[in-house]
Amino acid sequence: QAKPVAFSVRTNVAFHCANQKDVPVPGAALSFEAHDFLHITEKYSSEWWIGRAVMEGAPLGFIPSPGRLEQHARHALLHPRCHKTAGGAEESGGGAKHTAAAPAHVPLEPKLVNCQMFFGKNAALLDIDPCSVENDVMHKTVICVVGNVRYKRNNILRYYSYSPAEGIPPYDVVPSMRPVVLVGPSLKGYEITDMMQKALFDFLKHRFEGRISITRVTADVSLARRSLAINPSRHAPLERTTARATSDTAAEVQGEVERIFELARTLQLVVLDADTINHPAQLAHSSLAPMLVYVKISSPKVLHRLIKSRGKTQSKYLNMQMVAAEKLAQCPSDLFDLILDENQLDEACEHLADFLEMYWRAAHPTCGSGTPAAVAAIPVSMPPPSNPEHSVPTSLKRMLNV
């Protein structure tokens, strides 16, 4: 329990430990779903790690290593009757009752064994008949199910369009503390958005003093994509043609990513003042796995009035800012970890603080709201305002309270 977090991962697979009999400590294996976040404290062996899910009250336990997950998947493919069927009943090697066989004219197709085994939610583990000569997917240790599902009348067979996962790892290494990124209400670099976000930064700086690092990021961190690391061969032709033009940018982005990872190792809250991030799609495939907070002005009329109130310089780019705000408003709410749509600034600040306190407790299970002794305090780094007008005026606060 006292060991510090060595690293953190985001899961690309779901794992359920009901049938795991070779856990170093019986009953101590942990189950998790795809897209969960895990803190790893130790690599116990080549097959098992020790860690916990980043959730309030989550216990410490054994987590399968990537090699162990591949072994488990291979065993499930070769011995499907050791796993649960679609009906939820356990099957064993002999004496188990089987459902009625499919009609003779129905071609042999994969059957659903466990709908929460592989990549993504509701993906499927495929039970391939070893007698089928044409099925060479037996040699694939990882299968990702995509496309639609067709059900037969008797619900015995289910048909899938599937393809082998191309180098997708079971885990992605992410910062030990997920960085917080604010987007909205419109474009960064324009006064209304910058002032509103700065007001939130100032609040967080004082509310979480000693527990937070707020840092300016000028590089385009949206370029730090997982896909490049997973399958670089796909991007090789593009990289060769643009290598000279992008080498400096890539080095700058990589440097920023490494700096963010280093900040997160302290297990303090990390907030990024990212100049180039204006939409969740920019970070959808990022290795940073950020928590996106949408600062939302629900009424376009209010946003229009706020922009106009900033003078002719800002009004010149009114349409651009309104279009950006509309695109954010059209995003599904599940793309954001938190949406701040309160009319009053104080209420929005408290909403954000409650969210971060909850995350703090999830990441520090033995601690309250105070700073744990194991966490080294680092100074809060707030970028100096590039424009003195970035201070939040009283008139803006009054308009937000309307």
List the beta strands (DSSP E) in 286-369: 291-295, 338-340
How confident is the model over 320-334, as a mean pLDDT?
97
Q: pLDDT confidence of 72, banded at 50, 70, 90?
A: confident
Domains of the chain in sequence order: 7-68 (2.30.30.40), 175-400 (3.40.50.300)
Q: What is the pLDDT of residue 20?
A: 75
Residue with tokens 């009319």: 343
* pLDDT of residue 345 exceeding 90: yes
Q: Largest Cα–Cα distance in the chain?
A: 82
Q: What is the pLDDT of residue 96?
A: 39
Cα distance between the two ends of the chain: 49
Measured CA to CA, the distance from residue 58 to residue 61 in angstroms comes to 9
pLDDT, tens digit (0-9, with 9 covering 90-100), for 200-258:
999 999 999 999 999 999 999 988 876 444 444 444 444 444 554 567 788 899 999 99
How confident is the model over 256-266, as a mean pLDDT?
97
Measured CA to CA, the distance from residue 308 to residue 126 in angstroms comes to 59
Weakest-pLDDT range from 169-178, 242-251, 292-301, 349-358: 242-251
Q: Quickly list DSSP for 119-134.
A: SSTT---EE--TT-TT
* pLDDT of residue 83 exceeding 60: no
pTM of this prediction? 0.71
Q: What is the pLDDT of residue 58?
A: 94
Q: Which segment, 17-26, 175-184, 225-234, is predicted with the most confidence on average?
A: 175-184
3-state secondary structure of 271: strand
Helix residue spans in 123-235 (DSSP H): 191-207, 226-230
Q: What is the enclosing helix (H) or strand (E) of 263?
A: helix 236-264
